[in-house]
Amino acid sequence: MKFKGYSLAIISATFYGLLPLFILPIKQADYPLSAFLFGRFLLSALIVLGILVYKKINLSVSGRELAVLVALGTLYALSTDFLMLGYEYVSPGVASTILYAFPVMVALLMSTLFRERMGKSTICSLMITSVGIVVLGLKGSSLEVNVPGVTVSLLSAFFYALYIVLVNKSGIRVSELKLTFYSLVFSAVYFGVKGLVLQDPFSMPNPVVFSNLVLLSLVSTAFSILALVYAIKLIGSTSTSIMGAFEPIVAVCVSVVVFGEHMTLNLAVGVLLIIMGVIQNILTDSRLDVA
């Protein structure tokens, strides 16, 4: 069972790390990302809905639960939105690695909002991760930091950390699959509304856009989330989170191998520092128990 759990955790992280592989061709085709992400979350929600129907899971929720689920979907969408914006300023590998700093942000939020004591290990983890983020943000060999790129990537991590804190502190009692379904639905609503406001076309312009949409929805969204859910059940949230280190590694590999990003010393050192800092934080923190 443990081998299966670790395998699923690695698969989940790897699939999510492939995100740039499907997103960047869409950006190069000048197709509106809001419309594309609306399709991504809608299709993924339909896939999860099929599983819910197959398992005969009741979709009803209370008014309070619905309000929390709307907030969760919005936070998930905001995290995705800022990650996509991060791709404009820094490479996908850098943005994805900074996003992986979210467990440290969870510890910060719990300390700030709920007065939970931050231990020496967490403070040390925060310092290591912060240094890693600064190193990643350096422009080439100079000491100038890419402030816009680092800022929007950190906002992506911040909103995902808020998502996790809200799940853990809201007290709602819904299954992982149901929570995932509603998060996807309201993320789709967010990007649908944004697309309408921006007057983006929602029609698929060519087979390339459509095929990337389907692959993104299946591989880097639905399959990744489902593998994550079952991995947590088999090996727990801590081990699953540690295996999540494969996500930025895969994203960096995709950026380097497929899109020609240079593997610089800054990139290698920054990725290593962030992964070290986050894993240290996870090993001493049990607040990441969320699917």
pLDDT, tens digit (0-9, with 9 covering 90-100), for 53-70: 999 988 999 989 999 999
Does 25 have pLDDT greater than 90? no
Range of 88's domain? 2-283
- Is 186 domain-assigned? yes
Name which of 249, 257, 219, 180 is nearest 23 in CA terms.
219
Does 2 have pLDDT greater than 70? yes
- Is 288 domain-assigned? no
Tell me how far apart the alpha carbons of residues 145 and 139 are, in angstroms, rounded to a whole number.
6
Tell me how far apart the alpha carbons of residues 35 and 28 are, in angstroms, rounded to a whole number.
15
pLDDT (0 to 100) of residue 135: 82
- Mean pLDDT of the region 147-166: 90
- Please say whether the beta carbons of 187 and 73 come within 8 A: yes
Q: Which residue has the higher pLDDT, 15 or 290?
A: 15
Does 289 have pLDDT greater than 60? no
Instruction: Return the sign of the alpha-carbon dihedral for residues 259, 263, 268, 269.
Output: negative
**Model confidence band, residue 19 (pLDDT cutoffs 50, 70, 90):** confident
Least confident interval from 47-51, 74-78, 197-201: 197-201
- Please say whether the beta carbons of 262 and 150 come within 8 A: no
Name which of 51, 118, 91 is nearest 270 in CA terms.
91
- Is 212 domain-assigned? yes
- Is 290 domain-assigned? no
pLDDT (0 to 100) of residue 237: 65
Does 168 have pLDDT greater than 60? yes
The dihedrals phi and psi of 145, each to the nearest 5 degrees, come to -95, 140
pLDDT (0 to 100) of residue 71: 95
Average pLDDT of the chain is 84
* Helical (H) or strand (E) element with 118: none
**Model confidence band, residue 290 (pLDDT cutoffs 50, 70, 90):** very low
Least confident interval from 46-55, 185-194, 243-252: 243-252
pLDDT (0 to 100) of residue 196: 92
**Model confidence band, residue 94 (pLDDT cutoffs 50, 70, 90):** confident
- Is 289 domain-assigned? no
Tell me how far apart the alpha carbons of residues 124 and 126 are, in angstroms, rounded to a whole number.
5
Does 282 have pLDDT greater than 80? no
C-beta pairs of 167-172 under 8 Å, 24+ apart in sequence:
167/72, 167/290, 168/287, 168/289, 168/290, 169/114, 170/68, 172/64, 172/65, 172/68, 172/69
Prediction pTM value: 0.84
Least confident interval from 78-82, 93-97, 149-153, 204-208: 204-208
For 240-252, how does the pLDDT look when each residue is reduced to its tens digit (9 = 90+)? 777 777 888 888 8
Does 287 have pLDDT greater than 60? no
For 262-280, how does the pLDDT look when each residue is reduced to its tens digit (9 = 90+)? 778 888 888 888 888 888 7
pLDDT (0 to 100) of residue 197: 92
Does 288 have pLDDT greater than 60? no
Tell me how far apart the alpha carbons of residues 12 and 16 are, in angstroms, rounded to a whole number.
6
- Is 133 domain-assigned? yes
Q: Which residue has the higher pLDDT, 201 or 239?
A: 201
Q: How many domains does the chain have?
A: 1
Secondary structure class of 48 (helix, strand, coil): helix
- Is 143 domain-assigned? yes
